[in-house]
Structure 1
Amino acid sequence: MPDQSRSILVVTLGGTIAMTKISGETGGVTPRLTGADLVAAVPGLDEGTAITVEDFRRVPGASLTVDDIAELARRLREAAATGTDGFVITQGTDTLEETAFLLDLLYDADAPLVLTGAMRNAAMPGADGPANLLAAVRTAAGTDARGLGALVVFADEIHAARHVRKVHSTSIAAFASPGAGPIGHVIEGAPRLHFTLERHRPVPPPVRPAAVEIVHTTLGGDSSVLDDLARRADGVVVAAFGAGHVPQTWGEPLQALAERIPVVLASRTGAGSVLAGTYAFPGSESDLLARGLISAGPLDPYKARLLLLAHLRAGADRATVEAAFTERR
């Protein structure tokens, strides 16, 4: 259970959990609720904790940016250094899996960091925001979450940022960790961790802008989608078929691209790892790795993009980028 002396900072970014409409309005909802509104909707939320609230952004999840999250990571580091014991971030679920992973890369303090949101807005029957917020605060106030990096708490499940994905567009159980499962559950208001993960080294703060594009393979897809990428991007992630395969016509263009900028090979399946040497046909994983592509290992294309982007923004060279991906295999 939460320690009576622990201080929790709830930082709001907007999203469905903060959306409602004025009485009598027609049409859809928009972000209107403040952090104080969210906290007030959960009786007993502050039992055993001292909660403060900071409204950091008030936008849909789809409108958050990488710069927003980098600034948020800096703010959290500052607050942790001045004694805040734990953090809860509320935001839109559209990008929650990506912001959680990016925060996991950039946030280097030990104070628990928990992200949550809602699938049903506050105007809907059975809105899940209050229950998710309560579970997130309880998790952030528990000492077992200390030093684990970013966690996602949703529908009483506790997920590691490196594994979690949004797997349904409307279900209140929209988040899962394919291939790994949740690392714990919130039971009777208390977080219970089944296992923990070794934390990876954080990425240094950004020092320059960078752009990373994702290119998806499709049946019969033409290699022209790779044209001019070196001019438009500082790095590329290939969302490949299966265990890391592309049409054979992509091999030479990808090699030429990898000679100019980092090109990461990920699986578009969403679970499982890119292989290293099982297949040997043109366009196979072994062919592409021999051509200079970098394996994403178990990372999906969206997380691979963020890992590459964070390192490029930090000014990393190719060797550092390769080492970062090797660490996660």
Structure 2
Amino acid sequence: MKKLIKSITCLALVAALVASLAGCAKLNYVTNGTITAIQEVKSGDWKNAGKDGEADAAAEEDVSVLDKPFEAGTYGGVEFKSLEDVANYYVEAYNYTKTLTAQYKDADGNTKTFYKLLGTEDLQVGDVMIDGKANSTINSLVPSIVGPMFDANSWSLVPSGSREPEYDNNLDDNTRKNDNDYRTSAFKAEYILDANVVDNGDGTITLTIQPKQEELAFRGEGPQGSFFEVLGDITGAVKSITVLSFTEGDASDNVKVMYKGGTGSVTIDTKTKEIVSAHYTMVANVDVTHACIAIIKDKSASVKITYTNEYPASDEYLKERRGITRL
């Protein structure tokens, strides 16, 4: 029974994280998902379930995950002397690509002007660790909670607020301290941890960039938020879980999100500086401490969230997921 109650913490937190990321997900899914998990776990066999494991340490050194280090040189006719040149070229390509639009027909048959480059998205939730240990039964339940909540969509280059350029910003959001226009990139050279450039030999080059680690990132801001689509402030979602409390402080003190190890690769036509394809993998490690549910006190939990965006989305993906057809 103790294992059962401990499992509720991680399951509720996973649901809250997905609700925060998906945007359109309703927070009542958190409660519904938790109740479903409780019922399923009650019928399980806990005697031999589980295995040893270790949670990722948020304080671990920020190191490059790239196979190839940066080398100054000329690639596809473009000279890169430093990581600053890589950042500047990426920003130029991002900004130009977001000036390009195309005509689409939406699910209702209306003709719409969207960005030319639209992508796919996917969310993966790794093993949930409770007090440093993973349990196979707990983790087998995670997809049943995450699946109904995450409805894969199609957006423009991340970070993004919309498929439609006129809405790709938060300028009308009075809840935000900073105004962000996602039609232009806020990424800076100082945000790069590592990068490399490859000449593809076909008139395109590929930039692969790893931004520096960051805690509690916001869309359009900082090393991670200006490069990826991030979770934002998840503490509000966690606070909505009424069965969850903390022995010390509140959700703001005990829920930590560290973004590190994510990378993005963009392939650019050097004649036009248009991004013709891209792949972004955002990685966030979420750690919760001093969590309490019912009689279980002062427990820790951690989970790894991986969010990927692939461009361009296929015609099949757009049609199946969003009912969108390219004209």
- Normalising TM by the smaller chain, what interval? under 0.3
Instruction: Give the TM-score taking structure 1 as reference length.
Output: 0.23
- Ranked by relative contact order (alpha carbons within 8 Å, sequence separation 6 or more), the top structure is 2
Instruction: Give the TM-score taking structure 2 as reference length.
Output: 0.23
Bigger strand fraction: 2
Bigger helix fraction: 1
